[in-house]
A = this chain, B = another copy of it.
Amino acid sequence: MTGDVLSLNQATIKKADLREAVRVCAEVGFGGIGLWRDRVAEVGTAEAARIVRAAGLTATSLCRGGFFTSTDADERAAALADNRAAIDETAALGAGTLVLVAGGLPSGGRDLPAARRAVREALDALAPYAQARGVRLAIEPLHPMFCADRAVVSTLRQALDLAEPFPPEVVGVCVDTYHVWWDPDLDAQIARANGRIACLQLADWSLPLCADPLLSRGHLGTGYIQLAEIAAAAYGPGGYRGATEVEIFRQDVWDAPARDTARRVYESLTEICVRARAPVTIR
C-alpha cells in the first residue's frame, strides 16, 4: 500500500504516458507515483501494476472517483458503477487509496445542500464495496472556487464530517495544500483528522490566477503557502505516515520536459520534507 515515500502525481508530467512517467520518477529518485485512470487504462491495469512494481516504485494513490451529484437517476447509477470500477483498479494497482472529487452543482441547479447529501449517499453505497477490496476512499475537499462546477466538498472539516461514520481505514480524506491552505480552521481539522488522512498532496498557490483556475497550481516555493508547516502538521504525533505527493496542473509545467519538471519537484519537495521533519524516505 501507500508507503512513506516522496511521490510525483503523474498529472504533473501530463504529457508522459504511464511507462515514461514511471521511468522518469524512478530515475529522478521518487519512491512513489500517483496514478491517473486514463493513463492506466492505456496499458491496462495489470500491466500498469507490473510497470510500477518493476521500476521499484509504489503507487501512492489513484485519481479519481467521485462526481456523485447528478440529479438524474441513470447518471447517478452510472457514476456509482464507474466508482466501483475505480475501486477495483485501485485494488489491482496496489495503490491503496482512491481519491474522490465530489462533483459540483448538477446542471442548472442551485441546491447545494441536496448536492452535498448526494455525496453522503454515494459514500454509503460505495464504502462496503471499497472495504471488501481493501481500498481506502479519500474524500478531497476542493478549493471553494470550484464549488459550483467541480466539488461541493469545500473544507477539510466537511470532508471529515462525511468520513466520520465510516472506519478510518475505509473512508479517509485527501489533504491538498492548494485547496485548503487558506482555511482558518485547517490546523484544528488536521489535528482532528488523526488517522483519517489518506493522501497528502502539495502544490503552491501562485498569482495571478490562470484563466482556468484549475491550472493555477504552482511549483513548490513559488507561491503563498506555508507548505512545510502544513506538512509538519499532517505528519505530527499520531498523524499521517504515508507518502507526500506533488500534483501540479499548469500549462507551462506541462510544456516543460518531464524529467526537468520531475527533478525540480524532487528537489523542492525534499527541502520541504526536511524542513517539516516528515517521516518520509528520501533516497
Please give the residue numbers on chain A whose beta carbons come within 8 Å of chain B beta carbons, in ascending order: 105, 110-112, 116, 143-145, 147-149, 154-155, 157-158, 161, 181-185, 205, 207-209, 211-213, 223-226
Contacts and interface: CB of A to CB of B under 8 A. Distances in A.
B147 A110 contact: no
Contacts of A207: 148-149
A112 B223 CA distance: 13
A184 B116 contact: yes
B182 A226 contact: no
Contacts of A161: 184
28 contacts: A110-B226, A111-B226, A112-B182, A112-B226, A144-B144, A144-B182, A144-B183, A145-B145, A145-B209, A147-B181, A147-B182, A148-B182, A148-B205, A148-B207, A148-B223, A148-B224, A149-B207, A154-B182, A154-B183, A154-B184, A155-B183, A155-B185, A157-B185, A158-B184, A161-B184, A209-B209, A209-B213, A211-B211
Given A209-B213, A224-B110, A157 B144 contact: no
A99 to B, nearest CB: 20
A211 B223 CA distance: 19
Nearest to A158: B184
Contacts of A149: 207
Contacts of A209: 145, 209, 213
**Which 4 pairs show the lowest CB-CB distances between chains A and B?**
A147-B182, A148-B224, A144-B182, A145-B145
Given A143-B144, A149-B207, A110 B185 contact: no
Q: Count identical subunits in the complex.
A: 2
A145 B144 contact: yes
Contact of A145 (B112, B143, B183, B211): B143
A161 B207 CA distance: 28
A82 B145 CA distance: 31
Given A111-B226, A143-B144, A148-B207, A184 B213 contact: no
Contacts of A226: 110-112
Contacts of A225: 110
A213 B211 contact: no
Nearest to A116: B184
